[in-house]
Amino acid sequence: MLETWRQTLDVLKTRLDPVQFETWLSPLKQVEGTEGSLTLEVPDEFFARWVRDNYLDIIKDAVWDTTRCHVGIDFKISGSGGEKRARRGKSDRDGQAISRHEDLGERLVPRFTFDTFVVGPSNEVGHSACEMVAENPAGSYNPMFIYGGVGLGKTHLIQAVGHEIRRRFPDMRILYMSGESYVNEIMTAVKNNRLDAVRYRYRGQCDVLLVDDIQYLANREFAQEEFYHTFNELYNAQKQIVITGDQFPSAIPKVSERLRSRFGWGLIVDIGPPELELRVRIVQQKAAREGVKLSDDVASYLASRFTTSVRDLEGALNRVTAHALIRKIPLTLDLARRVTDRIVTDRRGRLTTDVVLKIVAEYFQLQVSDLKSARRHRGVSMPRQIAIHILRKHTGASLQSIGQALGGRSHTTVLSALSRIEKVIESEPATERALKDIERQLGMS
Ligand code: ADP
Ligand code: MG
C-alpha cells in the first residue's frame, strides 16, 4: 500500500484545480495502510472534515483508478494517538524543512510572484506599495487595502506579497485566505463547534494575514463579526494585514461600517485597467513563459482587442494558441482575428467542438479524454455537463452529435446532463462563475 498514496496524489493532481490540490490534497500524508484501508494524516479536525466533505469521493475514485480495489479512507489528526505532530513540526516526507506558514491557510499559486507581474502606470503604485509591505511587514503600511475590478491582478499581487515575505522572512507565519473560504470556514466551524480552533489559527498563530476578495463577507454578519475581532487583535499586536476588494472600502455594500472604516486605517491603493502598452507586455510575457512564439502584430492585436481585464486577455491568448495547436497551423494575425471574432460559435462541426472541449478540460485541469470517458464522479461529470451545456447553447449542435463528441453518449444522456447542470448553475454560484469564465475564454460573453 505504501506507494499507493503517492500514485493517487499524482492522479489527483491532474484532476483538480492547482490551488485546491495544493491546499487540501498535497498536505495529506499516508500514515498507515493495510489491504483495503488507507489512513491519512491531517493537521486538524477542521482539515479532516473539509477534506471528507469535499474531496472524499474524488479521492476514492482516484484510489480506485490506481489500485482497482475498494479502499476505505480514514483520517488521523497529527499529534493524536502518539503520532508526532508532523505538519506543525519541522520535517516533511523528503526531510526538507517546511515552514510553519504552510500550515495556516490556502496555498499560494507559485506563479503569482513579483517576478511575473508586469508593471505599468495603472498598477505601479499598488505594486510598489506591495513591495514595501513585503520588505517590511507591519513596518510600513498597515493594513493595506488593494482594490480594483475583476481580472486586474489583485490576487496576483496579494499572493506576491505572501511569496516575498516567505522568501525574506522564513519564520513569519503567513495566512492567505480568500474571503469566500473564510466565510465557509467560519460557518463550518460554527456548525462543528470548532470556532475556538479557527480563532486560534487566525489570532494566535499568524504574523501576516492576507485576505483576498473581502467583498465575500457582504451580508455575512457572523463572519464579519469574527473578522472584526481578528482584525483588531492582529492590528493591536502589530501584525501585517493585507486585504483586497473589488471596490473602495467605504463603497463595499453590506459590510458593517466599523469594519469598513478599519480597512482605511492604513494605505488604500487601487489597480486600474491596464494601458495598451502594458497589455502588450503582459501578453508577450505570458507567451514567452509558455514557450509560445508570438509575433508583434498578434500581440498588439490581442492587446487592443481585450482592454478591460488581464484575465480576459490571457484567456484570448489561450484560445488563439489552442486553435493553432489543434489545427497545427501557424499563429498568425489572421488566425487571431478569426478566433477572437467568435469563429468558435459558428457551426463548423469538429473544430468548434474540439476547441470547446479543450478549453473546458483545461479550465478544470482535466484531459479531453476525461470528458469523453465513462467516469462519473463529480470532478469529471460536472465539467462534462458544462461542456455539454456550452455546446448546446453556443454551437447549435444536435443532442446526438454532442453525445457523439463526448465518447458516444446517447441523446437521452445528453438531455439529462443538460437538465442537471442547469439546476446546478442556478443553485451554486461557484459553478455559475466557472461557466461564465469559460464562456468568456471562448469569447461567448
Ligand atoms: P483579480 O484578482 O484582480 O481578479 P488576478 O490577480 O487573478 O485578478 O489576475 C488575473 C490574471 O491576470 C492572472 O493570471 C494574473 O497573473 C494576470 N495578471 C494581472 N495583472 C498582471 C500583470 N500586471 N502582469 C502579469 N500578469 C497579470
Ligand atoms: Mg482575485
Atom of ligand 1 nearest to the CA of 123: 23
Q: Which amino acid is at 142?
A: N
Tell me which ligand sits closest to the C-alpha of residue 156: 1
SS3 readout for 45-106: HHHHHHHHHHHHHHHHHHHHHHHCCCCEEEEEECCHHHCCCCCCCCECCCCCECCHHHHCCC
pLDDT tens by residue, the chain, 445 residues: 667 888 888 888 877 777 778 878 888 888 877 777 888 888 877 778 778 877 887 888 888 778 777 788 888 888 655 333 333 333 333 333 333 334 467 888 889 999 999 999 999 999 999 999 999 999 999 999 999 999 999 999 999 999 999 999 999 999 999 999 999 999 999 998 889 888 988 988 899 999 999 999 999 999 999 999 999 999 999 999 999 999 999 999 899 999 999 999 999 999 999 999 999 999 999 999 988 999 999 999 999 988 888 988 998 898 888 888 877 889 999 889 888 875 444 444 344 788 889 889 888 888 899 999 998 888 899 999 999 999 988 777 788 999 999 999 999 999 999 999 999 998 888 889 889 888 877 766 6
Asked if the domains at 114-271 and 276-349 fall in one CATH topology, the answer is no
Residue 382: the pLDDT is 94
Q: Is the sign of the CA dihedral 215, 217, 221, 225 positive or negative?
A: negative
C-beta of 316 in contact with ligand 1 (< 6 A): no
Nearest CA to ligand 1 atom 7: 155
- H helical segments located in 102-153: 124-135
Neighbours of ion ligand 2 (CB under 5 A): 155
Pocket perturbation via mutation, ligand 1, pick of 270, 302, 310, 314 by most ligand atoms within 8 A of CB: 310
Residue 29: the pLDDT is 87
Residue 344: the pLDDT is 45
For residue 387, give the C-alpha cell.
Answer: 461542456
C-beta of 262 in contact with ligand 1 (< 6 A): no
Residue 1: the pLDDT is 60
> Ligand 1 mean position to 19 CA, how many Å?
15
Nearest CA to ligand 1 atom 25: 117
If DSSP codes are grouped into helix, strand and coil, which group holds residue 29?
strand
What distance in Å separates the CA atoms of residue 176 and residue 208, rounded to the nearest whole number?
Answer: 8
Closest CA to 360 of 415, 406, 411: 406
DSSP 295-310: -HHHHHHHHHH--S-H
Q: How many residues does the structure list for the chain?
A: 445
What distance in Å separates the CA atoms of residue 109 and residue 326, rounded to the nearest whole number?
Answer: 28
C-beta of 152 in contact with ligand 1 (< 6 A): yes
> Ligand 1 mean position to 326 CA, how many Å?
26
- The gap between the terminal CA atoms of the chain, to the nearest Å, is 48
Q: In CATH terms, is domain 276-349 a member of 3.30.420.130?
A: no
Q: Which amino acid is at 337?
A: R
Topology of domain 353-441, CATH: Chromosomal Replication Initiator Protein Dnaa; Chain: A; (1.10.1750)
The domain limits of the chain are 2-83, 114-271, 276-349, 353-441
What distance in Å separates the CA atoms of residue 363 and residue 297, rounded to the nearest whole number?
Answer: 27
Topology of domain 2-83, CATH: GMP Synthetase; Chain A, domain 3 (3.30.300)
Residue 239: the pLDDT is 97
Beta-strand relationship, 144-148 and 240-245: parallel
What's the half-sphere exposure (Cβ side, CA atoms, 13 Å) at 146? 32
DSSP 338-362: HHHTTGGGS--THHHHHHHHHHHHH
Residue 80: the pLDDT is 59
Nearest CA to ligand 1 atom 20: 153
> Ligand 2 mean position to 244 CA, how many Å?
8
Beta-sheet strands, E only, within 154-288: 174-178, 208-212, 240-245, 267-271
The cell 484510489 sits on which residue? 63
Nearest CA to ligand 1 atom 23: 118
Residue 390: the pLDDT is 92
Pocket perturbation via mutation, ligand 1, pick of 19, 116, 156 by most ligand atoms within 8 A of CB: 156
> Ligand 1 mean position to 59 CA, how many Å?
31
Nearest CA to ligand 1 atom 18: 153
Residue 445: the pLDDT is 61
Q: In CATH terms, is domain 114-271 a member of 3.40.50.300?
A: yes
Q: Is 193 exposed, middle or buried (0-12, 13-18, 19+ CB in 10 A)?
A: exposed
Q: Which amino acid is at 411?
A: H
Residue 376: the pLDDT is 87
Closest CA to 93 of 30, 40, 1: 30
What distance in Å separates the CA atoms of residue 222 and residue 227, rounded to the nearest whole number?
Answer: 9
